[in-house]
Structure formats: C-alpha cells, structure tokens
C-alpha cells in the first residue's frame, strides 16, 4: 500500500496543519506502540529546539504511556545521538521530533528501530494502518512510565570523541562552530572543547524560533566571515537536527559534503581501512567520482536520499557515502548521518597530515554544475519521452567522460530538473538550456 504520511525521512509538515497536530501525534504514538512494542517496551524520545517540540513531546509521551510503553525523555539532542542511544539503552525504538533543516514553523516525527536504523517501508505501512484504530488507554496496572534522562547525553559525546585515533586531541586548534540554533547546540561545542579545541560558537543560542534561520549548514555565510576573521583552523556547520555537515576552510570557503567524503575516504584508503565502494547520489559532483577514481577508489551513485545511499552501501559492502548537502554516512562508526562524527573524522585527518582543510579539499576538483528547474503542467517521467531521450543522449555524447546529464522529476512539485555537469561552465549552461528547451516543448 502507498504510504500516506511517512515520507523519505519520517512524517513532516507545517505545525498546526494535519498531520503535525497534537491529536495526530497522540494517535501516532498509540499506533507505533501496537506495531513496535505490542507487549510493552521502551522508547527513547529526543527533539531539536523548535517551540512546538514541547507539545509534540508531551503528546507522544501521553500516547506511549497510555499504550503501556515506558518513555525516556532526553530533550534536545542530534538525530544521530538518538539513533546511538536507542541502541545503547536497548530500547525497542527511538523517536526524534524535528524537521531537520526547515524553519521553526515546520516540525516532524521520525523513528529509529532497536538497532538505530530507519524503519522499513513495510513497518511504516503497518503503523499507518494502525492509525485508523485511534489511540488506546490500558488499565492502570498496564500503563507505562516516563522518566527524564537528560544527563545521558554524555554517552553520545563520549561515543563521538572516542572515534578519534587513540591519544589524539584537538589541543591548539581554533574552531568556529555553528549549530543552526538547533539540536547540537550543547553537545557539539562541549565535545570539541573537551577534546582541547578552542571553540567560538555561533548559532548556539536557540530561542524556539531561530532554528536554521540564517545560520547552520544551509546558510553558512556568517560562518564564512567569522572563520578567517578570527583566524580559525576551520568552521563547522550543522543543520537543525545535527545530521548534516558542511565545513569552512581558513579562507572562508565552503567545503561541502562531496569534498568532505573525498577527504575521509582517501584518508581511509591511505590507511588501508577503506571497505567497498564510496556511494554518492546522482547529484554528487562529477569531480568526486574523478578524484576518487584517480586514487583507485570505486564510486557508485544511488538515487537522491540518504536511505538509498544506505541501501547501496549495505548492498555493496561499503562504509562511506552521502550527499552533497552534507548528509554523510560512516557505517564503520555509526548507523545514520552524523555531523559531529563526520567533522571529527575530518579534523583527525587535518591533525594526522598537518594539512589545512583547504589543502585536503584541493585534491577534488569541483566541476561546474548548471541546474534548470522546468515547471510543467503535470508530472511525468522524462525518460519515457523519446525526444527527450535523444536530446540527453546527444548532449552526453558531446560531453564524453568529462561531463554528464541528470534529468529527473521532482518528488514534491510539478518540476522537471535538468542538471548538466562538465569541466567548462559555458558548456554546462549551453547544454542545460538545450535540454530544458526540449522539456518545455514536449510538456506544452
């Protein structure tokens, strides 16, 4: 059956509009309890810093306790921290209340299974089916209990810190840290400071409404100004729920997810620790593929979305993958994208090699990309149109190994995305416009 509420990363929407309402959250908790812990069990609930997080936390707590499930409330903590602690505390499942990189007037609810992984499509479908039954309340003897475990955040900090090579510290390293006024505002600066780094925090003063607002990984302009201004070694920017990372080098230039993957993967290759291929997406920069090939590292592309990257890593036996946006998977360290964990791996490479972030990123050329979003009257599969296929093939043959074309429909709006990548920016613009013109013609 098609899922009505679950998207690629849980349930998300505008607060106060269905499904992001208190009554829905209550029903969702009851439905999830019946599927994930039918005989009772324990759920760990964390959140980011949105004002609406309080009410959704209360609604979920009530729904789970009424359904006979014990609840552990840990408050603001990055999404990967909930994944890790769900596994560490042997919970039956975990929940994060967050809308990731969206602004505060959105929120979401996402689940982790007992192993810290995302729920399968089949389990999400079962939960949706149970929503039709509404919320239940067991008799007093069968009710669950709720407890606060805020101090347990320290376990996650220690887990991340221990990923550095034995004996390594960050002594003498000045870092600017932008936590997007989100879930990482406490644990990320504390972890880095405990390792000896000098921390200059920005975006670490949440007020319930300023999450992702002109800060964090989606808006790193202040970080770009601050890093060279204070002569820091690097800048670290997370998104609101702490699972995406971009960094800024000493000159104020953004180092994106593709470049960070390159730095980590090539370091693992040199150390003889790299397993399987590196996995990106169809939108990963061609420069990443070319640079890894030159280092003898196989590269594969999955569909856009971290769940597809994860699936391909598991299928191919790889450990490292991710997206240009900074959602980086390090399966030899953890089960989901983790900005703090990824940042520590990059900082470790800087310390081991003595090279700056700029020097490490220089090994991967950034191929120019041109993206044109063509609005259409109705959604359609562009690959089913012979005229479009011919246009893409013609451009691809012209670009050869030094370029590529991605043509795909948007999953959320009536738009066909045309992306062309090549060594020469003029070529990308000309070729993208050529294909976009065909899209407009066949869609008219």
Domain(s) labelled CATH 3.30.310.50 in the chain stretch across 369-443
Region label for 116, one of left (φ > 0), alpha (ψ between -120 and 50) or beta (otherwise): left
**Integer distance in angstroms from the first to the last C-alpha of the chain?**
33
* Helix axes 22-36 and 53-66, enclosed angle (nearest 10): 40
How far apart are the C-alpha atoms of 417 and 148, rounded to whole Å?
A: 46
Lowest mean pLDDT among 157-161, 348-352, 379-383, 429-433: 379-383
pLDDT reading at 384 higher than 80: yes
How far apart are the C-alpha atoms of 294 and 300, rounded to whole Å?
A: 15
How far apart are the C-alpha atoms of 259 and 285, rounded to whole Å?
A: 9
Domain(s) labelled CATH 3.40.120.10 in the chain stretch across 11-148, 156-361
Q: pLDDT confidence of 1, banded at 50, 70, 90?
A: low
Specify the CATH number of the domain 156-361: 3.40.120.10
How far apart are the C-alpha atoms of 292 and 418, rounded to whole Å?
A: 25
Per-residue pLDDT, averaged over 356-380, amounts to 93
Mean pLDDT for the chain overall = 95
pTM recorded for the entire structure:
0.92
Q: pLDDT confidence of 83, banded at 50, 70, 90?
A: very high
* Helix axes 286-294 and 257-270, enclosed angle (nearest 10): 10
pLDDT of residue 346: 98
Q: Does 100 qualify as catalytic in the annotation?
A: yes
pLDDT of residue 60: 98
How far apart are the C-alpha atoms of 292 and 35, rounded to whole Å?
A: 43
pLDDT reading at 377 higher than 90: no
Of 30, 100, 324, 391, which one is the catalytic site residue?
Answer: 100
Count of alpha carbons within 13 Å of 97, Cβ hemisphere only?
A: 32
Q: Fold for 369-443, please state it.
A: TATA-Binding Protein (3.30.310)
DSSP character at residue 356 = -
pLDDT reading at 106 higher than 80: yes
**Tens digit of each residue's pLDDT (9 = 90 or more) over 220-266:** 999 999 999 999 999 999 999 999 999 999 999 999 999 999 999 99
pLDDT of residue 411: 67
How far apart are the C-alpha atoms of 397 and 48, rounded to whole Å?
A: 47
pLDDT reading at 401 higher than 90: no
Buried b (16+ CB within 10 A) or exposed e, 176-195: bbbbbbbbbbbbbbbbbeeb
Q: What is the DSSP string of 149-185?
A: -GGGHHHHHHHHHTTSPTT---TT-EEEEE-TTSTTT
Per-residue pLDDT, averaged over 275-289, amounts to 95
Q: pLDDT confidence of 181, banded at 50, 70, 90?
A: very high
pLDDT of residue 9: 85
Q: pLDDT confidence of 3, banded at 50, 70, 90?
A: confident
pLDDT reading at 378 higher than 90: no
Q: Fold for 11-148, please state it.
A: Alpha-D-Glucose-1,6-Bisphosphate; Chain A, domain 3 (3.40.120)
Looking only at the bridges linking them, the beta strands covering 245-248 and 254-255 are antiparallel
């Amino acid at each position: 059956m098609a899922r009505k509420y679950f998207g690629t990363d849980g349930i998300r929407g505008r607060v106060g509009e269905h499904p992001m309402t208190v009554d829905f959250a209550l029903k969702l908790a009851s439905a999830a309890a019946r599927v994930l812990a039918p005989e009772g069990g324990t759920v760990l609930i964390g959140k980011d810093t949105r004002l609406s997080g309080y009410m959704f936390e209360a609604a979920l707590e009530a729904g789970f306790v009424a359904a006979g499930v014990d609840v552990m409330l840990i408050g603001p903590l990055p999404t990967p921290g909930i994944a890790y602690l769900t596994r560490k505390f042997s919970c039956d499942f975990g929940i994060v209340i967050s809308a990731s990189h969206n602004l505060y007037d959105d929120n979401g609810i996402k689940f982790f299974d007992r192993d810290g992984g995302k729920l399968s499509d089949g389990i999400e479908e079962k939960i949706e089916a149970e929503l039709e039954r509404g919320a239940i309340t067991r008799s007093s003897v069968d009710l669950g209990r709720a407890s606060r475990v805020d101090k347990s955040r320290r376990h996650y900090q220690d887990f991340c810190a221990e990923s550095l090579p034995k004996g390594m510290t960050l002594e003498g390293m000045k870092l600017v840290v932008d936590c997007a006024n989100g879930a990482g505002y406490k644990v990320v600066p504390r972890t880095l400071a405990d390792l000896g780094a000098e921390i200059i925090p920005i975006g670490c003063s949440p007020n319930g409404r300023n999450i992702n607002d002109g800060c964090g990984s989606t808006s790193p302009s202040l970080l770009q100004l601050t890093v060279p201004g204070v002569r820091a070694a690097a800048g670290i920017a997370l998104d609101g729920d702490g699972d995406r990372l971009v960094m800024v080098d000493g000159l104020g230039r953004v180092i994106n997810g593709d470049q960070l993957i390159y730095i980590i993967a090539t370091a693992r290759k040199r150390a003889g620790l790299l397993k399987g291929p590196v996995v990106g997406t169809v939108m990963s920069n061609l420069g990443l593929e070319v640079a890894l090939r030159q280092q003898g590292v196989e590269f594969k592309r999955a569909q856009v979305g971290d769940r597809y990257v994860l699936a391909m890593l598991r299928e191919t036996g790889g450990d490292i993958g991710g997206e240009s946006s900074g959602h980086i998977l390090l399966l030899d360290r953890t089960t989901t994208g983790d900005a703090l964990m990824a940042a520590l791996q990059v900082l470790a490479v800087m310390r081991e090699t003595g090279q700056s972030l700029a020097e490490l990123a220089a090994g991967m050329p950034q191929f120019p990309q041109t993206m044109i979003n063509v609005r259409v009257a109705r959604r359609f599969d562009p690959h089913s149109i012979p005229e479009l296929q011919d246009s893409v093939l013609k451009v691809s043959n012209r670009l050869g190994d030094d370029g590529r074309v991605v043509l795909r429909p948007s999953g959320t709006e009536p738009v066909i995305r045309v992306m062309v990548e090549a060594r020469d920016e003029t070529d990308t613009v000309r070729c993208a416009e050529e294909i976009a013109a065909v899209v407009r013609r066949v869609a008219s």
